[in-house]
Amino acid sequence: MCGISGYIGEKNNSIKIVFNILKKLEYRGYDSSGIATIFNKKILIKKSIGKLVNLKKIILKHQIGSNISIGHIRWATHGKPSRNNAHPHTDATKNIAIVHNGVIENYIELKKKYCINDEEIVSDTDTEIIVHIIKKNYKNDLFSAVRNVLREVKGSYAFALICKNEPDRIICAVNESPLVIGVGDKENFIASDVSAILKYTKKIVFLKNGDVAEIKKNNIIIRDIENNIKNMQIKTIKDENCSYIRKNKYKHFMLKEIFEQPYVIKNILKDVICLNKNKNYENEFKFFKNIIKNISYIYIIGCGSSYHSGLIAKLLFENFANIRTEVDIASEFRYRNPILNENTLVIVISQSGETADTLAALRFAKNKKCKTFAICNVMNSSLSREADKTIFTKCGQEIGVASTKAFIGQLVILYLLVFELSNKKGIINNHEFKKIIVELLDVPKKIFKILKNTKSIINIAEKIKGKKNFLYLGRNLNYPIALEGALKLKEISYIHAEGYAAGEMKHGPIALVDKSMIVVFIAIKKSKVYKKIISNIEEIKARNGTIVLITNEKNIEIKNKSDYVIYIPKINDYLSPIISIVPLQLLAYYIGVFKKCDIDHPRNLAKSVTVE
Ligand code: AGP
């Protein structure tokens, strides 16, 4: 996680520019932040704990004119959030300042090897050691000192450094953590992602693993660790929506994004279905249908909500397209020995396209010669650049840390891929395919209906907001929705919640059930597991658990089996996950609001998890 920013150029408001870039990167972490600049031949550091507004107050107090600065927003890995642990870090003589995103795995060994005394160290971070070692290697050339030290550094990093004796350059280095350079006119920028600097320039250099860059106001040189000059490719970024995103009438981005979901579905369907008018997705579907010809099975990889959409897709691919599909959490997949070969299609799913584990899983799959396909929301993200092909969910920027509309977007794309494949394989005919599309087109209306009636959800949220433990139970396609519902509640309200397969509950978790336990069930009337889930509800009722039931409207027969009911419109079972998740998102949201939690910036979380 963590975000890095930097500026060198003609303007002497570099601190403001670097701060503005950090603002765009706040989704990557928000436990502390800091900026280093060179002023009057000295390195000056301004730091603050908490969100960026706190740093803003400090930098406004001291208006410093400088044309070179680096900045950082932190999500703590080594060392708790504190002023000392906030970046930038400096060596003891304050000659060099460093900001870092990633994790240095061998910092303790390096500390011993270079005999860095504890007295020299002011933080608990893995980063600070690196700046001390660079200082030890420094012989009036920061570029070569950094390259020398990097030979010994193990782990993931994007570094940016400045040195008070060399006020005309920023040095950057990259390994397994993203960093881009924005190329301007007599000025250059750095940032952890492209969108953060698009306000300043559309000309972008994507740094690659092993790159060490020297960035001056008029010049950029990239070398490898051995000092060989590397080719530099400047890409011009188009089609990026740089507009400032507002909450409008909504109190939080999360709520706004929940309410945007019907439009997300409509947009995707509009682009896919009106192929002759709008060929937005034509290439991606063609690519998918072409590569799948020689594929013997699919692996779907993701983290968090993206993993949950993959779990639903597995059931759909197997059921409707008759293709063996495995799903895995990215951080597990890459450390197992999965059976992969050139006939495996690895689908990586990620809202941000920057999740470190998902990216590493993609690279792992590519090394094994698998075909790769990404489902991603953020254009120009690392994942989308590295996968063989990417299909974008085009949900618009998702700001709330809890994923909502991006999850729905992923689901809709996955449904379309499954049914395209099913149709291509002749498992469903054209008529059936069209019928499915018509049913999908009806989904936004159904979601609007849920969104129009949030009152009952608000009432339930108020009544149960004080409870300490929640179980979310579902079966088949709604089992991943139970996982997703529980994840939303944990993230937003800090209440302990577990998602479970309803049939598995009697194998252990049922021991937890008493009247203080809230058990949320998803029971879809026409589903083949409906009767089974009714039995599971009875089992909980018999043990005095408090039941919140999500079921279809007019399904009165189980009303008296539950303490609270949330009705959703009638829908065919196979499409039910797309709408059953909506009341669960709202329930988590309103409980979080009643508990006065920081909805869009929950504690300890970041929107994009860029460390392993
Ligand atoms: C979802 O609400 C979470 N914030 C989180 O689990 C997220 O889905 C996960 O970190 C994966 O992110 P990605 O989709 O950007 O890869």
Nearest Cα to 500, choosing from 536, 465, 464, 525?
Answer: 536
H or E segment at 233? none
H or E segment at 212? strand 212-215
Amino acid at 560: N
Model's pTM, two decimal places?
0.84
Region(s) of the chain under CATH 3.60.20.10: 3-236
Mean pLDDT in each 10-residue stretch from start to end of the chain (612 residues)? Answer: 93 96 87 94 94 90 90 87 92 95 90 84 90 95 95 93 97 93 97 92 94 97 94 83 68 96 93 63 87 92 98 97 96 92 96 94 96 94 93 92 97 96 93 93 96 96 96 97 98 96 93 94 92 93 95 83 94 96 98 96 84 74
Region(s) of the chain under CATH 3.40.50.10490: 247-441, 452-612
The protein residue with its alpha carbon nearest to ligand 1, atom 7, reads 304
The protein residue with its alpha carbon nearest to ligand 1, atom 6, reads 304
For residue 491, give the ligand 1 atom closest to its CA.
Answer: 2
Which fold is adopted by the domain 3-236? Glutamine Phosphoribosylpyrophosphate, subunit 1, domain 1 (3.60.20)
Per-residue pLDDT at 119: 82
- Just give the CATH number of 452-612: 3.40.50.10490
Cα 292 to ligand 1 centre (Å)? 27
Query: What are the φ/ψ torsions at residue 555 (nearest 5 degrees)?
Result: -90, 80
Contacts of residue 185, Cβ cutoff 8 Å, sequence gap at least 6: none
Per-residue pLDDT at 62: 77
Q: Answer yes or no: 607 catalytic.
A: yes
Cα 51 to ligand 1 centre (Å)? 20
Per-residue pLDDT at 464: 97
- Just give the CATH number of 247-441: 3.40.50.10490
Per-residue pLDDT at 549: 96
**Cα 332–Cα 1–Cα 338 angle in degrees, nearest 5:** 15
Q: Answer yes or no: 115 catalytic.
A: no
What phi-psi label fits residue 104: left (phi over 0), alpha (psi between -120 and 50 degrees) or beta?
beta
- Report the relative pairing of strands 155-163 and 235-236 from DSSP bridges: unpaired
Task: Specify whether the CB–CB gap between 350 and 374 falls below 8 A.
Answer: yes
Most informative mutation of 30, 305, 362 for ligand 1 (most atoms within 8 A of CB): 305
The protein residue with its alpha carbon nearest to ligand 1, atom 4, reads 402
Alpha carbon separation from 209 to 57, 103, 362 (Å, rounded):
36, 15, 15
